[in-house]
Amino acid sequence: MDTLIVVLGPTGVGKSDISIQLAQHYQTDIISADSRQFFRELCIGTAVPPVEDLELVTHHFIQSKSIHDYYNVSDYETEAIQLMSHLFRIKNPLILTGGSMLYLDTICKGIDDIPSVDPDIRKEVIRWYEENGLEALRERLLRVDPEYYQIVDRNNPKRMLHAVEIYEMTGQPFTSFRKNTIKERPFRILKIGINQDREVLYHRINQRVERMIELGLVDEARAVYPFRNLNSLNTVGYKELFTYFDGDCTLAEVIDLIQRNTRKYARKQLTWFRRDPEIKWFEPEQMEEIISYIEQKMK
C-alpha cells in the first residue's frame, strides 16, 4: 500500500535531518510542508536545507515560489496531491515534512472546497488593506463574517484577507464554506513526531538564530525590506529585523526578540500537534526506533 511518512515537530528540533535519513533509507523523495520555505527569496531565515542536503535527496516545494506570488493552502493541497499521485507510481513510501500545521493537516485531512478568488478582487482587497492597515481589516472582517472573526488569528492579515476576498467574491461569509470534512486519501499516513527536552530545544533554537545572523540573515532581510507589507514576509525573523531597519531597536534586541518569538512559535506548534492521537513521538536520536516503527506499520 502507498504510504506517506509525515515527519513533524517544533521548529529547530531536527526534522530535516531525520527526513533526509529516512529518504535515503527508503530511496525516496521529500515533500516540504514548510510554508516559509516555498519562497526563493528567503533562504537563511527559513532554514532551507543546505545545498549538499538538497543534492542528497530530491526535495519538492523548496524555493519554488516568489514572495510576490499569491499562494495559499488550497493551491498547495492541489499541487502536492497531484505530485504525490505521480511519485507513488515509482516510489513508496514518500516523506512529507515541515512545521506548518495547517499545511500538514491539509495533506493529511484535506480542506474545504473554497471558491477561487478573482485576481482583480484580490488586488483590490490587498490595495485597500495596504492603504487602511490591520485594524481596519479586523473591523471589515467583523462586519462581513463575525463568526470567523471570533476564531481567526487577528494578527494574521493573510487569513483575514482571504476571508474578506471570499465574501467580496461570493457575497457569502467564509465560514459558510467551512465544513471541516476529513477527506479520504488513497494512501496510508504514518505520523512521526520529533520532540526533545524543552531546555535542549530552546538552546537549539537560540543557537540556530545566532547561526542565521552569522550566515547573513540581516542582509537577506534587508533585500526584501522594500516589500515588507507582503503577506509572505509576515514571518518570524524578517518582521523583527524590519523594526531594526526602521530604527526602533538595536540588533542585539532584535536577535533576542527573534529567539523569543521562535520559542513561542515552537510552543504553539507542540500545542497543535499534541491534539493529534495519531502521532507517534520520538526523540531526534531514535533513528533506529523510528525505522523499526515504520517497518512494523508498513507490513
Instruction: Write out pLDDT tens, residues 142-157.
Output: 999 999 899 888 888 9
**Lowest-pLDDT range, 57-61, 66-70, 285-289?**
66-70
**pLDDT of the residue at 116:** 77
**pLDDT of the residue at 129:** 94
Mean pLDDT of 50-79: 92
**pLDDT of the residue at 115:** 77
Judge whether 93 and 298 are in contact, CB under 8 Å: yes
In whole angstroms, what is the distance from residue 153 CA to residue 238 CA?
19
Residue 269 pLDDT grade (very low, low, confident, very high; cuts 50, 70, 90): very high
Judge whether 203 and 9 are in contact, CB under 8 Å: no
Please name every residue paired with 96 in a beta bridge, in sequence order, or none if there are none. Answer: 6, 31
Query: In terms of C-beta density within 10 A (0-12 exposed, 13-18 middle, 19 or more buried), how is residue 189 classed?
Result: middle
Which has the closest alpha carbon to 225: 237, 211, 214? Answer: 237
Instruction: Write out pLDDT tens, residues 192-215.
Output: 999 999 999 999 999 999 999 999
Query: In terms of C-beta density within 10 A (0-12 exposed, 13-18 middle, 19 or more buried), how is residue 103 classed?
Result: buried
Residue 54 has pLDDT above 90, yes or no: yes
DSSP string, 163-216: HHHHHHHHSS-GGGG---PPPPPSSEEEEEEE---HHHHHHHHHHHHHHHHHHT
Residue 179 has pLDDT above 80, yes or no: no
- Give the domains, in start order, of the chain with CATH numbers: 3-112+181-298 (3.40.50.300), 119-177 (1.10.20.140)
Residue 82 pLDDT grade (very low, low, confident, very high; cuts 50, 70, 90): very high
**pLDDT of the residue at 2:** 96
- Count the Cβ atoms, other than its own, within 10 Å of residue 276: 15
**Lowest-pLDDT range, 4-8, 89-93, 229-233?**
229-233
In whole angstroms, what is the distance from residue 83 CA to residue 98 CA?
17
Instruction: Write out pLDDT tens, residues 23-35.
Output: 999 999 999 999 9
Which has the closest alpha carbon to 135: 152, 154, 159? Answer: 154
Mean pLDDT of 95-107: 92
Mean pLDDT of 178-186: 81
Mean pLDDT of 294-298: 95
Average pLDDT value over all residues in the chain: 93
Mean pLDDT of 151-175: 88
Which has the closest alpha carbon to 38: 86, 76, 74? Answer: 76
**pLDDT of the residue at 155:** 87
pTM: predicted TM-score of the whole model, two decimal places: 0.82
Residue 113 has pLDDT above 80, yes or no: no
Residue 242 pLDDT grade (very low, low, confident, very high; cuts 50, 70, 90): very high
**pLDDT of the residue at 102:** 84
